[in-house]
Protein backbone atom coordinates (compact mmCIF):
# COMPACT_ATOMS: atom_id res chain seq x y z
CA UNK A 1 0.00 0.00 0.00
CA UNK A 2 1.26 3.46 -0.84
CA UNK A 3 1.27 6.32 1.68
CA UNK A 4 -1.12 8.38 -0.45
CA UNK A 5 -3.67 5.53 -0.29
CA UNK A 6 -3.93 6.04 3.48
CA UNK A 7 -4.83 9.70 3.01
CA UNK A 8 -7.23 9.13 0.12
CA UNK A 9 -8.71 6.27 2.15
CA UNK A 10 -9.61 8.68 4.96
CA UNK A 11 -11.61 10.77 2.50
CA UNK A 12 -13.30 7.72 1.01
CA UNK A 13 -14.11 6.40 4.50
CA UNK A 14 -15.79 9.69 5.39
CA UNK A 15 -17.87 9.56 2.21
CA UNK A 16 -18.89 5.91 2.63
CA UNK A 17 -19.78 6.48 6.30
CA UNK A 18 -22.17 9.20 5.13
CA UNK A 19 -23.74 6.72 2.64
CA UNK A 20 -22.19 8.30 -0.46
CA UNK A 21 -20.87 6.17 -3.31
CA UNK A 22 -17.60 7.67 -4.60
CA UNK A 23 -16.01 6.80 -7.93
CA UNK A 24 -12.38 7.53 -8.75
CA UNK A 25 -12.04 9.68 -11.88
CA UNK A 26 -8.31 10.47 -11.82
CA UNK A 27 -5.44 10.05 -9.38
CA UNK A 28 -1.80 11.06 -9.23
CA UNK A 29 0.83 11.25 -6.48
CA UNK A 30 -0.34 14.55 -4.99
CA UNK A 31 -4.10 14.44 -5.40
CA UNK A 32 -7.09 12.39 -6.50
CA UNK A 33 -10.28 13.42 -8.25
CA UNK A 34 -13.49 11.65 -7.24
CA UNK A 35 -17.12 11.88 -8.28
CA UNK A 36 -20.01 11.27 -5.89
CA UNK A 37 -23.76 11.07 -6.43
CA UNK A 38 -25.48 12.75 -3.50
CA UNK A 39 -28.53 10.71 -2.56
CA UNK A 40 -30.98 13.52 -1.84
CA UNK A 41 -30.77 15.21 -5.23
CA UNK A 42 -29.05 12.67 -7.54
CA UNK A 43 -26.56 15.36 -8.56
CA UNK A 44 -22.89 14.63 -9.11
CA UNK A 45 -20.34 16.33 -6.88
CA UNK A 46 -16.69 16.30 -7.88
CA UNK A 47 -14.08 16.17 -5.14
CA UNK A 48 -10.55 17.42 -5.72
CA UNK A 49 -8.36 15.94 -2.98
CA UNK A 50 -4.95 16.79 -1.54
CA UNK A 51 -3.06 15.54 1.49
CA UNK A 52 -0.19 16.57 3.76
CA UNK A 53 1.79 13.71 5.27
CA UNK A 54 3.47 16.03 7.82
CA UNK A 55 2.42 18.91 10.01
CA UNK A 56 4.25 22.15 9.21
CA UNK A 57 7.11 22.94 11.65
CA UNK A 58 5.83 24.80 14.73
CA UNK A 59 6.17 28.56 14.77
CA UNK A 60 5.71 30.72 17.87
CA UNK A 61 2.59 28.87 19.02
CA UNK A 62 3.41 25.30 20.08
CA UNK A 63 -0.29 24.57 20.77
CA UNK A 64 -1.24 25.01 17.12
CA UNK A 65 -1.06 22.56 14.24
CA UNK A 66 -0.60 23.92 10.73
CA UNK A 67 -0.69 22.38 7.26
CA UNK A 68 0.14 24.14 3.99
CA UNK A 69 -1.18 22.95 0.64
CA UNK A 70 0.33 24.43 -2.53
CA UNK A 71 -1.25 24.17 -5.96
CA UNK A 72 0.91 23.44 -9.00
CA UNK A 73 0.22 25.32 -12.24
CA UNK A 74 -1.44 22.20 -13.70
CA UNK A 75 -3.66 21.83 -10.61
CA UNK A 76 -4.65 25.50 -10.87
CA UNK A 77 -5.67 25.00 -14.51
CA UNK A 78 -7.58 21.86 -13.56
CA UNK A 79 -9.41 23.69 -10.75
CA UNK A 80 -10.36 26.51 -13.12
CA UNK A 81 -11.83 23.98 -15.55
CA UNK A 82 -13.57 21.88 -12.89
CA UNK A 83 -15.21 24.84 -11.16
CA UNK A 84 -17.04 25.59 -14.40
CA UNK A 85 -18.12 21.96 -14.91
CA UNK A 86 -20.50 21.69 -11.95
CA UNK A 87 -20.49 21.16 -8.21
CA UNK A 88 -16.85 21.08 -7.01
CA UNK A 89 -15.60 20.39 -3.50
CA UNK A 90 -12.05 20.19 -2.17
CA UNK A 91 -11.02 17.74 0.54
CA UNK A 92 -7.75 18.23 2.42
CA UNK A 93 -6.41 15.35 4.52
CA UNK A 94 -4.17 16.58 7.33
CA UNK A 95 -1.82 14.27 9.25
CA UNK A 96 -1.42 14.34 13.02
CA UNK A 97 1.32 13.16 15.40
CA UNK A 98 -0.82 10.06 16.02
CA UNK A 99 -0.65 8.19 12.69
CA UNK A 100 -4.14 6.75 13.27
CA UNK A 101 -5.72 10.19 13.57
CA UNK A 102 -6.29 12.26 10.44
CA UNK A 103 -8.32 15.43 9.92
CA UNK A 104 -10.27 15.80 6.68
CA UNK A 105 -11.30 19.35 5.84
CA UNK A 106 -14.05 19.80 3.23
CA UNK A 107 -14.59 23.00 1.28
CA UNK A 108 -16.85 24.08 -1.55
CA UNK A 109 -14.93 25.83 -4.34
CA UNK A 110 -16.93 29.05 -3.78
CA UNK A 111 -15.59 29.30 -0.22
CA UNK A 112 -12.05 28.26 -1.18
CA UNK A 113 -11.90 31.05 -3.75
CA UNK A 114 -12.66 33.60 -1.01
CA UNK A 115 -9.19 32.98 0.40
CA UNK A 116 -7.21 31.57 -2.56
CA UNK A 117 -6.37 33.52 -5.69
CA UNK A 118 -5.90 31.13 -8.62
CA UNK A 119 -4.24 33.87 -10.69
CA UNK A 120 -0.67 32.91 -9.76
CA UNK A 121 0.92 36.03 -11.20
CA UNK A 122 -1.13 38.36 -8.95
CA UNK A 123 -0.39 36.99 -5.48
CA UNK A 124 2.32 34.36 -5.85
CA UNK A 125 1.77 30.63 -6.00
CA UNK A 126 -1.75 29.66 -4.90
CA UNK A 127 -1.84 27.90 -1.53
CA UNK A 128 -4.10 27.11 1.40
CA UNK A 129 -2.93 27.07 5.01
CA UNK A 130 -5.08 25.25 7.56
CA UNK A 131 -4.48 25.80 11.28
CA UNK A 132 -6.00 24.28 14.39
CA UNK A 133 -5.32 25.46 17.93
CA UNK A 134 -5.44 22.85 20.70
CA UNK A 135 -8.90 22.88 22.29
CA UNK A 136 -10.42 25.07 19.57
CA UNK A 137 -13.84 24.29 18.15
CA UNK A 138 -12.88 25.16 14.60
CA UNK A 139 -10.14 25.09 12.01
CA UNK A 140 -8.94 28.31 10.40
CA UNK A 141 -8.13 28.50 6.73
CA UNK A 142 -6.48 31.23 4.70
CA UNK A 143 -4.59 31.35 1.44
CA UNK A 144 -2.57 33.58 -0.81
CA UNK A 145 -5.24 36.31 -0.54
CA UNK A 146 -3.96 36.86 3.01
CA UNK A 147 -5.20 36.41 6.57
CA UNK A 148 -7.81 39.13 6.07
CA UNK A 149 -9.78 36.54 4.10
CA UNK A 150 -9.56 33.80 6.75
CA UNK A 151 -12.42 31.31 7.08
CA UNK A 152 -13.36 29.52 10.32
CA UNK A 153 -14.36 25.91 9.82
CA UNK A 154 -16.35 24.15 12.58
CA UNK A 155 -15.03 20.81 13.88
CA UNK A 156 -16.88 17.56 13.24
CA UNK A 157 -19.15 18.55 10.39
CA UNK A 158 -19.93 16.26 7.46
CA UNK A 159 -19.19 16.37 3.72
CA UNK A 160 -21.69 18.29 1.59
CA UNK A 161 -23.20 19.80 4.74
CA UNK A 162 -26.36 21.66 3.76
CA UNK A 163 -26.00 24.15 6.62
CA UNK A 164 -22.44 25.17 5.86
CA UNK A 165 -20.64 25.03 2.55
CA UNK A 166 -17.37 24.60 4.39
CA UNK A 167 -17.26 21.56 6.61
CA UNK A 168 -14.45 19.46 8.12
CA UNK A 169 -14.91 15.95 9.45
CA UNK A 170 -12.73 14.01 11.84
CA UNK A 171 -11.73 10.53 10.67
CA UNK A 172 -11.84 7.78 13.24
Could you write out the three-class secondary structure of 94-127? ECCCCCCCCEEEEEEHHHHCCCCCCCHHHHCCCE
Q: Residue 64 to residues 1, 122, 166, 168, 172: CA-CA distances in angstroms?
A: 30, 29, 21, 17, 21
Cβ(117)–Cβ(144) below 8 Å: yes
pLDDT in tens, 2-46: 777 888 888 888 888 888 878 777 666 656 788 776 666 667 788
- What are the φ and ψ backbone dihedral angles of 113, each rounded to 5 degrees? -70, -10
User: What are the residue ranges spanned by the domains of the chain?
Assistant: 3-51+63-170
Dump pLDDT digits (tens) for 115-155. 998 876 666 789 999 999 989 998 999 999 988 999 988 77
pTM given for the model: 0.84
Report the CATH architecture of 3-51+63-170. 3-Layer(aba) Sandwich (3.40)
Contact status, residue 150 vs residue 141, Cβ threshold 8 Å = yes
Amino acid sequence: MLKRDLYYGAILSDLVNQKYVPALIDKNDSRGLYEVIVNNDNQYRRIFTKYRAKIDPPSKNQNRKRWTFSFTPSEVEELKTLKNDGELWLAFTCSNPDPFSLDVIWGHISKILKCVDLQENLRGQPYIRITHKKGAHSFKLYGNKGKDNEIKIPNNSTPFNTYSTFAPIKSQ
